[in-house]
Amino acid sequence: MNKATAKAYTMQALIKYHGLKDWELRIPYHDSISVNTDCLYTVTTVEFGDYEKDRLIINGEEIGGRALERVVSIINKVRELSGITNRCMIKSINHSPIKEAKGLGFSAAAGAALAAAAYEAAGLRRKYGWDSRLISRLARLLAGSACRSVIGEYARWYAGSNDEDSYAVKVATRKEFDIRFIIVPLPLKASTEDAHREAATSSFFKARIESAQKRCEELIKAIKDNDFKKFGELVELDSLELHAVTMTGSSKLILINAESLRVIETVKRLRSEGVPAYYSMQTGPTVYVNTLPEWVDEVEKVLRDEGVLTLTSGVGPGVEIIG
């Protein structure tokens, strides 16, 4: 087989990584944890063949530049592992009712789908079996969070120090910790790459590395203990810390906006009324509202009554080959 199609879901980062100590291999300073969505996904087809050059088409538009370079970094690694020398055609489509929003995690889904499709198309399954750890390492070369999207459900990315020991593993399943989250997608013209560079210039960055690493252990314990309150508190704290570090970098990047704050205040009000709801943000203004299955309809109604657009998600699976 020289052609394959994969489907991968976006994710909500729970303990977010920020900054990269190796930009080429995309290795972060500390571990991170995420949960996949089940409502937003990317479908990617990779075909090796008699092409003059590697080509990338995203949502029907041919893409070059830095995006193509990052995609080819995965393809080159796959060629190295498989011995294939052919160029390839990559076609990727992001499936979302929202076209413009920052912080939905489509780079993660795209990286996961690309890595899995390339792995399958190049015949690496015959050579290595379905090695999710290896596929997560490949996905990481496009976007760090993509390595977690490969795994699905609740995944932890071990930062490591080189290509071999920087990978993701599953830490819990939906059955073990079943939550819902309501996504409030909000737009912003800013680059995640810029945010990662900014983080390292903050005077609080060293403290961020230490606290985030420690928080990973605390969050896993909360999940294992089925302690949703502790889970929500840890994720909120991590979100605030992430943005504090970004805002105190050299360019003083502010990646949240008034709408983000309005949603946060609504969540805090709901909680004061006894509703189990907690907010989360990634490197952008989009807000994730985490809650329990029996409360999701009520929380979503309150948000929609306030005029905000929402998407509702459960805990989503890992990457899969669909063609």
pTM: 0.94
Rounded CA gap, 5 and 188, in Å?
A: 30
Q: Which domains does the chain have, with CATH numbers?
A: 3-174 (3.30.230.10), 180-314 (3.30.70.890)
Distance CA(250)–CA(268), nearest Å, equals 31
Q: Are 268 and 150 in contact (CB under 8 A)?
A: no
- Residue 99 pLDDT: 60
Given a contact cutoff of 8 angstroms between Cβ atoms, the answer to whether 250 and 298 are in contact is no
- Dist CA 237 CA 208 (whole Å): 11
Q: Residue count of the chain, please give it.
A: 323
pLDDT at 104: 54
Confidence at residue 103, expressed as pLDDT on a 0 to 100 scale:
47
Which is it for strands 167-172 and 277-281: parallel, antiparallel or unpaired? Answer: unpaired
97-136, pLDDT tens digit by residue? 766 555 455 789 999 999 999 999 999 999 999 999 999 9
CB atoms within 10 A of CB 87: 17
Residue segments in the chain with a per-residue pLDDT below the cut of 50? 103
Do the Cβ atoms of 29 and 157 come closer than 8 Å? no
Report the chain's C-alpha Rg in angstroms: 19
In terms of DSSP bridges, do strands 55-58 and 87-95 run parallel, antiparallel, or are they unpaired? parallel
For residue 36, which of 167, 223, 174, 236 has the smallest C-alpha distance?
A: 174
